[in-house]
Amino acid sequence: MITVGIVGPESTGKTTLAKGLAEHFNTLWVPEYAREFLSDLDRPYEKKDLVAIAKGQLESERHYRKKAKDILFLDTDLFVIKIWSEFKYGECDPWILQQLGMNKASVYLLTHFDMPYEPDPLRENPSQRPELFDLYEKALKEAGVLYAVIQGNKHKRMDTAIQKINSII
């Protein structure tokens, strides 16, 4: 099964892209588990919560993988948790790094920050999207994974993503 990890700074269209691609390819997409976790949390999250979020994300991926066809879209993956942890706390839990090493997607779509920021109670850094984008791109390059930058309006993003995916399937 081909997995497509959609990563990037907050409010850069990851969910919209995941939904649209899943519809286009007639398959499923895995929602971002952190949204569910944080919405149910009755306190501010802490560094230790990132491991629970990572475990929940992996469990969600396993669940959807059983139901998907030949391709599965991930609205975020452990790269997002890694980058966020390092950005916010200066380090990432070794378990998350180990799991990331064993659970990389087949290809990554890195969403650019060239779209308007949409406020959301779970989002924290509207002005740091360029810096975060650079951190994502650096991490993807260092990991040696196949990736494409997705930018432009909604239609341009979909076209670019579809072309990239079609080139590997």
Residue 36 sits in a domain whose CATH number is 3.40.50.300
Q: Can you give the pTM of this predicted structure?
A: 0.94
Q: How many domains does the chain have?
A: 1
Q: Residue 149 — very low, low, confident or very high, per pLDDT cuts 50/70/90?
A: very high
For residues 113 and 51, the answer to whether their CB atoms sit within 8 Å is no
Q: In this structure, what DSSP letter does residue 128 have?
A: G
For the segment 121-145, the average pLDDT, to the nearest whole number, is 89
Q: What is the pLDDT of residue 124?
A: 67
Distances 55 to 48, 65, 103 between C-alpha atoms, Å: 12, 15, 12
Can you give the pLDDT at residue 44? 86
Q: For residue 8, give its domain range.
A: 2-168
Residue 30's SS3 state is: strand
The rounded mean pLDDT for the chain is 94
Q: Please tell me the predicted confidence (pLDDT) of residue 121.
A: 67
Rounding to the nearest 10 degrees, give the CA dihedral for residues 37, 43, 47, 53: -10
Residues 80-118 have pLDDT tens digits of 999 999 999 999 999 999 999 999 999 999 999 999 888
